[in-house]
Amino acid sequence: MKKNYSLSWLLIGSLLLLLISACNSKVDFGYPEINVMLPLPGRIYQNGDTIKFQAEFSDNNQLTNIELLLVDQDNKPMLPVVSITPNQNPFIFEGDYIINDPMLPGGSYYINFRASNGENSTNRFVAVQIHELAREMLYPIIVTHPETDIWNAYRLTKDNNWLKYYTQTGDYAGCAINSTESQFYICGNSISNLSSVKLPGGALQWIIKPVYYQSHNWFGGLEFSYPNLYVSCAEGNIRGYNKTGNEIYKSETFPNAEPSLLVATKNFVVGAFADAFSSDRFLVAFHYPGGKMFSNKFFHGEIVGMLYTSAEKILVFSNSDGQGSISQYNATDNSLSVLHPFYNGVFIDAAKMDSDNYIISSSSGICLYCISNNSLTPLLPEIKDAKIACDNTMQQFYACSGKEMQVYSFPSPVLLEKIPLPDTIVDFHLVFNK
Task: Enumerate the domain spans of the chain.
Answer: 33-131
Counting every residue written for the chain, the total comes to: 434
Per-residue pLDDT at 20 exceeds 60: no
pLDDT, tens digit (0-9, with 9 covering 90-100), for 33-44: 999 999 999 999
Backbone angles phi, psi at 65, to 5 degrees: -160, 145
State pLDDT tens for residues 361-382: 999 999 999 999 999 999 999 9
Predicted confidence (pLDDT) at residue 25 exceeds the cutoff of 60: no
Phi, psi of 251 (to 5 degrees): -80, 165
* Mean pLDDT, residues 324-353 taken together: 97
Residue range 85-106: mean pLDDT, rounded: 95
The C-alpha atoms of residue 256 and residue 275 are separated, in whole angstroms, by 6
Per residue in 120-171, pLDDT (tens digit) is 999 999 999 999 999 999 999 999 999 999 999 999 999 999 999 999 999 9
Of all residues in the chain, the percent with pLDDT exceeding 90 is 89
Say yes or no to pLDDT of 5 above 70. Answer: no
Dist CA 295 CA 299 (whole Å): 13
Instruction: Supply the pLDDT for residue 6.
Output: 54
CA-CA distance, 311 to 210, in Å (whole number)?
33
pLDDT at 82 > cutoff 60: yes
* Residue-wise pLDDT tens digits, 288-310: 999 999 999 999 999 999 999 98
pLDDT confidence bin for 406, thresholds 50/70/90: very high
Burial 23-33 (b: 16+ CB within 10 A, else e): eeeeeeeeebe
pLDDT at 140: 98
pLDDT at 401 over 90: yes
Q: What is the average pLDDT value for the chain, to the nearest integer?
A: 93
pLDDT at 220 over 60: yes
* Angstrom distance (rounded) from CA 376 to CA 399: 18
pLDDT digits (tens, 9 = 90+) for 200-212: 999 999 999 998 8
Of 77, 68, 53, 54, nearest in space to 116 by CA: 68
Instruction: Report the C-alpha gap between 190 and 182 in whole angstroms.
Output: 26
Q: What is the predicted pLDDT for the residue at 28?
A: 65
CB 322 within 8 Å of CB 375: no
Q: Is the pLDDT of residue 19 over 80?
A: no
| DSSP per-residue letters across 177-188 | EETTTTEEEEE-
Q: How far is CA 294 from CA 209, 268, 271, 275, 330, in A?
A: 29, 9, 12, 18, 12
What pLDDT does 14 receive?
56
Distance CA(408)–CA(391), nearest Å, equals: 10
Structure confidence at residue 12 (pLDDT)? 56
Q: How confident is the model at residue 16 (pLDDT cuts 50, 70, 90)?
A: low
Q: How confident is the model at residue 23 (pLDDT cuts 50, 70, 90)?
A: very low
Using the predicted structure, report yes or no on whether residue 433 has a pLDDT greater than 60: yes
CA–CA separation, 351 vs 232, rounded Å? 20
State the pLDDT at residue 9: 55
Confidence of residue 215 (pLDDT cuts 50, 70, 90): low
Taking residues 395-404, report their average pLDDT. Answer: 96
Q: Which residues share a beta bridge with 139? A: 431
Chain centroid to CA 242:
8
Domain 33-131 has CATH 3.30.70.120: no
pTM listed for this prediction: 0.85
For the beta sheet containing 268-275, the strands, ordered from the edge strand earlier in sequence to the opposite edge, are 257-264, 268-275, 281-287, 293-299
Cβ-contact 126, 111 below 8 angstroms: yes
pLDDT number for residue 1: 43
Q: SS3 for 56?
A: strand
